Amino acid sequence: MRDALLSVDDFSVVYDVDPPVRAVRGVTLELRRGEILGLAGESGCGKTTLAYGLQRLLKPPAVITSGSVVFHDADGDDVDINALDAEEMRRFRWDKISMVFQGAMNSLNPVATIGSQLEDVFEVHRPEYSRSARRAAVAELLEIVKVGAQRSRSYPHELSGGMRQRIMIAMALALRPQLMVMDEPTTALDVLVQREILRQISQLRHEFGFSVIFITHDLPLLLEISDRIAIMRDGEVVELDTAERIWTDPQDEYTRTLLASFPRLTGARGVVHR
């Protein structure tokens, strides 16, 4: 079985406004099976645009101007994502690649129960499932993300932010995808809940074997959880290496600047001169 799960070559996205904005510029990278690839950079560097573009989720005025995205399926097929038609792409999403969107925990339908919203995933993508099979699958998912099957009857407002984020992870995990893209999944959570969510993502990755593209501006967080990290600046990947080497021997000046921008818990305190 090939080690690569996703191959991205010379991928570019332009926002067709006046003047045009080159949001992603010739990105080339490879995602390996079972790894967590961190995508870091300051706000506006193109991280989310890249993630959306890889799944063809971009809307006008965004235009993919160059590049290829090939998904190497576990069954041996190579899928050219850019060549899929609309219906093929609809079936491909969530089944092979799923996404936890930025601010997703606030995107749940406030007037529908958690169970009914999770059941919708199976109703659309697994129409052969009976109602009892869908309910059993939902109960299993809620147990997997440590929310508890009894919460299927709850409404979103009855859950904490951390529990709602676990529901979104359950939804992304429902069809056992091979790749999960996570866009700032812990930004709105307090530090303790954030750690619980990160620990669970890592455990689920080991249990189910999926790969993760984890997007955040929080480089210290990525250093803790990622196998490799891609640093983005102005739409380009300026450095791609293991988390250990990014920390101990960064090659790009921008990477060193990012690392230096985070306060250290040890060492001498600096003085701010005005």
| For the chain, the helix, strand and coil percentages under 3-state DSSP, each to the nearest 5 | 40, 25, 35
Quote the percentage of the chain above a pLDDT of 90: 78
Q: Give the domain CATH number at 226.
A: 3.40.50.300
> Number of folded domains in the chain?
2
Check whether 273 has a pLDDT greater than 70: no
Residues 160-199 pLDDT 10s: 988 998 999 999 999 999 999 999 888 777 888 888 888 8
CB 186 within 8 A of CB 197: yes
Same domain, 25 and 90: yes
Angstrom distance (rounded) from CA 102 to CA 30? 23
Whose tokens are 């996570």? That residue is 182
Same domain, 90 and 182: yes
Tokens (6 digits) for 71: 């998904």
Angstrom distance (rounded) from CA 113 to CA 164? 12
Q: Residue 135 domain-assigned?
A: yes
H helix or E strand, kind and range, residue 117: helix 114-125
Same domain, 8 and 70: yes
Task: Kindly indicate the confidence band of residue 33, based on its pLDDT and cuts at 50, 70 and 90.
Answer: very high
Please state whether 149 falls in left (phi above 0), alpha (psi between -120 and 50) or beta: alpha
pLDDT at position 264 is 67
Same domain, 119 and 14: no
Same domain, 158 and 26: no
Residue 24, SS3?
strand
Range of the domain at 86: 4-96+178-260
